[in-house]
Amino acid sequence: MKKISIFILAALLLSACASKERDQFQEKLAARLATDPDLKDYNLDPEEVAECVTSQIAKTLPGFRGTPARKPYWEAYLAFESARNSDEALAAVRQYKDVFGSEQKASAAAMNITQYIMACMGKLIESAHPVTKPES
């Protein structure tokens, strides 16, 4: 019984540590989105969009939420999001190429952030303003 308790406690601690990077990415993204004029135009909450994007990215990662295997991916996404110019973005892609398998795949992952933002914005706009069908 003691061993099971220790195992559960260790799993919870690992889960909490591994999700720190995910939370940091989501916070960084929400801060950037807070200044996005499109979000303001459509009255979208940057936190909601960032949460949606983070969830979409999480679906592409190996393992499940909180597993240590995801930590390098979240570190990479945080680095991609933290890049302030193209040189920093390229450096981040090169730094995390081994995580994704190649420089091309790391670059694609970095560019996917924008695609996820657009998809999540569309989804949130649609849910806030559902299209009604005309009556026959």
pLDDT, tens digit (0-9, with 9 covering 90-100), for 32-87? 999 999 999 999 999 999 999 999 999 999 988 888 999 999 999 999 999 999 99
> Is the model's pLDDT at 17 over the cut of 70?
no
Parent domain of 105: 2-128
Q: What is the pTM of this model?
A: 0.81
Within a domain: residue 20? Answer: yes
**What's the CA gap between 57 and 20, in Å, rounded?**
15
Within a domain: residue 60? Answer: yes
> Is the model's pLDDT at 136 over the cut of 80?
no
Q: What pLDDT was estimated at residue 18?
A: 52
Structure tokens at 117: 């933002």
Within a domain: residue 31? Answer: yes
Within a domain: residue 56? Answer: yes
Q: What pLDDT was estimated at residue 15?
A: 45
State the chain's mean pLDDT as an integer.
Answer: 88
Q: What pLDDT was estimated at residue 1?
A: 63
Overall number of domains in the chain: 1
Cβ proximity of 74 and 25 under 8 Å: yes
**What's the CA gap between 76 and 84, in Å, rounded?**
14
Q: What pLDDT was estimated at residue 10?
A: 46
Within a domain: residue 135? Answer: no
Within a domain: residue 133? Answer: no
